[in-house]
A and B are shown apart, each in its own frame.
Chain A
Amino acid sequence: MHEQWERRWDLDQLKSSKLDAPYIIASNSVRSIVSKQLPWAFIDLGAIPLGAKTLVVVGGGNLIDRVKVLRKNDWPALKVVAIPSIWGSGAEVSPVAVMNGHIKDIQFSEDLIPDRYVIWPELARGASFDLLRFACGDVYAHALEAFTSPLATPQIRREAATLMNEIAEYPIGFDDRWFDASAAACLLQARSSVGLIHGFAHVLEPKLRASDLAGKWGHAKLCSAFLLPVLRFDLSASSRVKNLAAEFGLDLEKVLATAHALFMPDAYSAAMAEAERNWEGIARDRCSRTNCVLVRRDSIDFFRRFRASGVPI
């Protein structure tokens, strides 16, 4: 049993807890539902009262990460209770915080881990199918790259294989089991590394957000778009993934079927146009450098061919 389960609450546990001087920071999309369940005052991130001792942050990974960084840098005595509005990022359990700017700033510290996290599945029930699908892709990308990471231990690989075999049975769409799977996948990658899927996502997200507002680009969408192409790239370059799958009991056919189901040719094609302009940065990104297969200058050719084929190779 991992430590994160000791930090886990459900909504009833949160409501019956005796939090010290709590305030809520919530994203607009969930503010209404949160206000009906929790009695504490809402505040803005930039206006934390001096008497606050606990922040309950409810929202997506970006908001949770901003609160984690704020606490670490400026309010170290504050307790943080993180409630993800959708699964995927795993920010509620992670020692990593990703700050969005012109480039991604990735911070890693045990001090970033929230004191508690709460699984509140109803928050995600109203999300669009696309958002839910991207979130599933995000979970899968974390689990897969943790499994294939050159830094993964046999124990991490066993856990990642078990998790991937399990979530391959989950529906792509709403299912409250995705929340716990997301937390588990995030912790697996935090104990190993991520790879080229995240290299693409980290470099392209700020570029695409700036150049294509209508595309609603985010980390989860990019992870979903590149999950299948990167998996195919890894499989084409080396027998490493296939051998690891056999060794640790990962059902590679199921993984490929899920990656196919999550693949979005239009999003991939649009993202590849930006990837062509930023390949040097993607290939040299710190995530890409811990990919299970070496990412070379000419590796972009594989992804061009994948795009040109119109359908998965």
Chain B
Amino acid sequence: MHRPLPDPAADSRPFWDGCAVNELRYQRCAHCGQTQLIPRALCAACQHDPLQWHTSRGLGRILSFTVVHRAPTPAFKEEVPYVIAIVDMEEGFRLMVNVKDGACKALSIGQPVRIGYRAVDGVTLPQAEVVE
């Protein structure tokens, strides 16, 4: 069983194209100013559609995290234990990522992280790296 990897669609292609060149891109609504991670054809806050793509500085803080010991599929068995975190980015959007070497670190809520990148089966995924 292969690891689930993103299959970019029209809405999300700019995000994954950004990751490929190590840029974390997100949408901001030009009407209400709301940011959103999961790309859409309209703004989930005001339902207007003048969305603009911006590039994040890549800095955020851990909102929550978990060390996963039970892999959901065989593709992740070699990786356990691994850390999944939800990160609040300073631009106001939220993303889910793995934390690089997270299981070896004493993580805490509020921990500052920087978004880096890793290649998995030819796809570039964002990952959080602890800011020491």
- Pairing of A with B: no
Residues of B within 8 A of A (CB): none
Residues of A within 8 A of B (CB): none
